[in-house]
């Protein structure tokens, strides 16, 4: 029996517990840095499997590390369990049906992500015990990936300094290795304070904080022409200062998120954004406070590792999908606009597009794509600056499903999601065993990692002295 078959058997033997853990976390969606229940469930599951746990690491109350074994190499599995605001949704529904209006939901599938990584760590632990092999297996429970970049705090605190390889995944619409880098980012909230006044009787006595926010936004919009095209600058007015138009708004705030392929580019663009904010205070006679919200480094890719992982994907193969799976996926697909449906196969090779025509579940492993920079960001990037890192995606939802939507939440407790989660666990665990059985691959991955860093050392984008939020 190959190690692929052994790992698959180990994961399938505990699949009911894994599915139950994922669904339990799905049912208690918690926002960034607030994942108390989710972390507790994960801690209990780790301890039941014989892992030693430590909570509150890196000053993050909802972060944890579970450790099994000792010695080298140290293999880290990265898990997440934070949800998103405003995406409450009934599981399995094929129409928008919030459980709680305005409530949270797992719109990026992190209930699956954390549990899949946990299942992989447990399978490797069980495999090593059966074969009397030694290594250190760690599960990192990482909070606030969506807003706050928990892994950036963990990396800055040195929690990955002795790790040899880091492995993770993300729910998606295809089963393949992630050959992409990511955009570095930096987020901050700009809080303007002015002076209230009667907007009709004495407007000259007021200093409008809302004016400052609007002038800042106008200035940044003019900036967009003069930054690199790969950069992205997003904003949200998070406090408009009140609801009465006859009162000069004395307080208002806006949150900005700056992205670019390299950390230095993010820093340079953010400084220009900050200068525009300062200019807005001069124009309006207001004052300004800036609160850091989060930051993430760009991801360092590693061909050695994703070649190893892709081979495991091919060996594991795809799950079997039932008629019910296909009917449900079709119903979800039908909720998408024609534009979203048309984009479901964008980026694939022609051969893969042909194989998927008319389908709503990607039921085969597509060809591995060349390296590219994805449009989003992830705090896995900070880990990849500390240790060679590899990730995969697996089919957990219908083709074309955009992340951060109610459709993701709905599918997150359905068989298609559970099958993808267990497939990811098998892929990650087999990747770890392939590396443990061939230590030369670990050294090759480290050598490539050093070459890609090209002498540049890790510098966190988190400002010195910044403490994690206490929620």
- CATH of region 184-296, choose from 3.30.450.20, 3.30.70.360, 3.40.50.620, 3.40.190.10: 3.30.70.360
List, for residues 249-276, the tens digit of each pLDDT value.
999 999 999 999 999 999 999 999 999 9
Residue 468 banded pLDDT, cuts 50, 70, 90: confident
Q: What is the mean pLDDT of residues 440-452?
A: 98
Q: What pLDDT score does 159 carry?
A: 98
pLDDT tens-digit series, residues 4-33: 999 999 999 999 999 999 999 999 999 999
Q: How far apart are CA 326 and CA 329, in angstroms?
A: 5
Give pLDDT, residue 227: 98
Mean pLDDT, range 196-221, rounded to an integer: 97
299-303-306-308 Cα dihedral, nearest 10 degrees: -150
Question: Mean of the pLDDT values across residues 219-230?
Answer: 97
- Look at residue 127 in the predicted model and tell me its pLDDT: 98
188 with 291: CB under 8 angstroms? yes
Range from 99-103, 403-407, 467-471 carrying the lowest mean pLDDT: 467-471
Residue 375 has what pLDDT? 87
The mean per-residue pLDDT over the stretch 336-356 comes to 91
CA distance 329 to 362: 11
* Domain 3-182+298-453 architecture: 3-Layer(aba) Sandwich (3.40)
**H or E element, residue 144:** none
Identify the band that residue 426 occupies on the pLDDT scale cut at 50, 70 and 90: very high
Does residue 461 carry a pLDDT above 90? yes
Reply yes or no on whether the pLDDT at 36 is more than 70.
Answer: yes
Residue 346: what pLDDT? 85
pLDDT tier for residue 347 given thresholds of 50, 70 and 90:
confident
Question: What would the mean pLDDT of 317-324 be, rounded to a whole number?
Answer: 98
Mean pLDDT of the chain: 96
Mean pLDDT of 347-358: 90
Q: What is the mean pLDDT of residues 374-391?
A: 96
Separation between Cα atoms, residue 442 and residue 121, nearest integer Å:
18
Residues 49-71 have a mean pLDDT of 97
Phi-psi region of 75 (alpha: psi -120 to 50; beta: other; left: phi over 0): beta
Domain ranges (residues) in the chain? 3-182+298-453, 184-296
Residue 128 has pLDDT above 80, yes or no: yes
Those residues whose C-beta lies under 8 Å from the C-beta of residue 270, and which sit 6 or more positions away, are: 186, 188, 256, 258
Does residue 194 carry a pLDDT above 70?
yes
Per the CB < 8 A criterion, the answer to whether 112 and 80 are in contact is: no
**pLDDT(471) > 70:** no
**What is the rounded average pLDDT of the residues 407-417?**
98
Could you tell me the sign of the dihedral formed by the alpha carbons of 89, 90, 95, 98, in that order? negative
Torsions phi, psi for 137 (to 5 deg): -110, 125
8 Å CB contact between 387 and 76: yes
Query: Which of the 8 DSSP states describes residue 399?
Result: T
pLDDT of residue 412: 98
State how far the Cα of 239 lies from the Cα of 232, in Å rounded to an integer: 22
Q: Both tokens of residue 250?
A: 């004395």
Report cis status (omega within 30 of 0) of the bond before 69. Answer: no
| pLDDT of 348 higher than 90 | no
> Global pTM?
0.95
pLDDT of residue 292 exceeding 90? yes
Annotate 377-393 with DSSP letters as a single string: --THHHHHTTS-EEEEE
Q: How far is the first Cα of the chain from the last one, in angstroms, to the nearest whole number?
A: 49
> What confidence tens digit (pLDDT) does each residue in 79-107 have?
999 999 999 999 999 999 999 999 999 99
Mean pLDDT of 425-432: 98
Q: Is residue 50 predicted with pLDDT exceeding 70? A: yes
Q: Which of 221, 258, 39 is nearest to 143 (CA)?
A: 39
- C-alpha distances (whole Å) from 142 to each of 111, 287, 335, 394 are 12, 36, 32, 20
Q: Please tell me if the domain spanning 3-182+298-453 has the same topology as the one spanning 184-296.
A: no
Instruction: Return the exposure string of 9-39: e unless at least 16 CB atoms fall within 10 Å of the residue's CB, then b.
Output: ebbeebeebbbebbbbbbebbbbbbbbebbb
User: Which whole number is the average pLDDT over 336-357?
Assistant: 91
């Amino acid at each position: 029996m190959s190690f692929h078959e052994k790992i698959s058997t180990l994961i399938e033997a505990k699949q009911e517990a894994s599915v139950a853990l994922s669904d339990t976390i799905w049912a208690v969606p918690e926002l960034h840095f607030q994942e108390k229940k989710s972390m507790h469930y994960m801690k209990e599951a780790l301890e039941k499997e014989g892992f030693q746990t430590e909570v509150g690491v890196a000053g993050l109350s909802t972060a944890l590390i579970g450790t099994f074994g000792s010695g080298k190499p140290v293999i880290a599995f990265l898990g997440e369990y934070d949800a998103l605001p405003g995406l409450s949704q009934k599981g399995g529904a094929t129409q928008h049906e919030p459980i709680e209006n305005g409530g949270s939901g797992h719109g990026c599938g992190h209930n699956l992500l954390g549990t899949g990584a946990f299942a992989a760590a447990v399978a490797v632990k069980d495999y090593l015990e059966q074969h009397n092999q030694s290594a250190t297996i760690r599960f990192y429970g990482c909070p606030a990936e969506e807003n706050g970049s928990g892994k950036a705090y963990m990396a800055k605190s040195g929690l990955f300094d002795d790790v040899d390889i880091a492995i993770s995944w993300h729910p998606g619409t295809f089963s393949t290795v992630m050959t992409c880098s990511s955009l570095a980012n930096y987020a901050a909230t700009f809080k303007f304070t002015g002076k209230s006044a009667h907007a009709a009787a004495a407007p000259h006595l007021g200093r409008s904080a809302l004016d400052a926010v609007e002038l800042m936004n106008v200035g940044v919009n003019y900036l967009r022409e003069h930054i690199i095209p790969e950069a992205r600058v997003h904003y949200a007015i998070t406090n408009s200062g009140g609801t009465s138009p006859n009162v000069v708004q004395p307080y208002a705030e806006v949150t900005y998120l700056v992205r670019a392929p390299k950390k230095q580019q993010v820093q340079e663009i953010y400084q220009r954004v900050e200068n525009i904010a300062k200019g807005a205070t001069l124009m309006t006679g207001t004052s300004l406070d800036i609160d850091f919200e989060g930051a993430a480094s760009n991801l360092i890719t590693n061909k050695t590792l994703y070649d190893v992982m892709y081979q495991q994907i091919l060996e594991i193969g795809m799950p079997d999908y039932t008629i019910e799976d296909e009917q449900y996926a079709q119903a979800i697909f039908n909720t998408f606009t024609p534009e979203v449906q048309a984009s479901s196969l964008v980026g694939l090779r022609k051969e893969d597009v042909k194989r998927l025509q008319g389908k709503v579940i990607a039921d085969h492993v597509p060809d591995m794509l060349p390296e590219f920079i994805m449009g989003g960001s992830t705090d896995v990037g900070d880990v990849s600056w500390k240790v060679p890192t590899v990730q995969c995606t697996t089919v957990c939802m219908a083709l074309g499903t955009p992340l951060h939507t109610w459709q993701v939440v709905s599918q997150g407790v359905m068989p298609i999601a559970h099958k993808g989660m267990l497939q990811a666990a098998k892929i990650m665990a087999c990747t770890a065993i392939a590396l443990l059985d061939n230590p030369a691959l670990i050294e090759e991955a480290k050598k490539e990692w050093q070459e890609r860093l090209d002498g540049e050392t890790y510098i966190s984008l988190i400002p010195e002295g910044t403490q994690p939020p206490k929620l």
